Amino acid sequence: MNSKGALLTHVVEIEIPFHDCDPMNVVWHGNYPRYLEVARCELLRLFDYDYPQMHESGYAWPIVDMQIKYVASAVFTQKIKVAAYLKEYENRLRIDYVITDSLTNKRLTKASTTQVAVEVSSKEMQFESPAILFNKLKAVLN
């Protein structure tokens, strides 16, 4: 789970809010997927295929697999960077992530998500990504 081989990259900065923390002011583990979501949406916007555009094109893209490795804790008021790396798109969307401390660049978390296209009208999973994704990515990858 790294930037090597990434087709597209985007980094967001987030300040850890109080409501994401447990009584020890450490981010509760279940909040990390929300940070990944923020970075993922920004990455998708780079090629104009965020969730509203996905829906308009007739596809939903549910997450079918998520892997998270917690390396160190994030804490209240800490500023973190969440880097999202598009790794695959032909048959699925695979995005890798690295969360680091904004000041020290210390790695806090690494993760990966896999999403597949599901045709909204039939609710059938697609075994290859739809042409709309290829067309949108072609505009920014070339």
Residues 88, 141 contacting (CB under 8 angstroms): no
Q: In angstroms, what CA-CA distances link 98 with 24, 37, 131?
A: 23, 13, 29
Q: Is there a contact between 74 and 108 (Cβ–Cβ < 8 Å)? A: yes
Q: How confident is the model at residue 1 (pLDDT cuts 50, 70, 90)?
A: low
Q: What is the pTM of this model?
A: 0.94
pLDDT at 15 (0 to 100)? 98
Quick one: average pLDDT of 81-87?
A: 98
Instruction: Please compute Rg for the chain using Cα positions.
Output: 16
Give a yes or no: residue 43 inside a domain: yes
**Domain annotation covers residue 15:** yes
- Structural domains in the chain (count): 1
Q: What CATH number is given to the structural domain containing 29?
A: 3.10.129.10
Mean pLDDT value across residues 84-104: 97
Residue 127 pLDDT: 93
pLDDT greater than 90 at residue 12: yes
Is 3 among the domain residues? no
Q: pLDDT tens digits, residue range 117-140? A: 999 999 999 999 999 999 999 999
Averaged pLDDT, 93-97: 98
Does residue 2 sit within a domain? no
Q: How far apart are CA 117 and CA 133, in angstroms?
A: 10
Could you tell me the residue range of the domain that residue 107 belongs to? 8-141
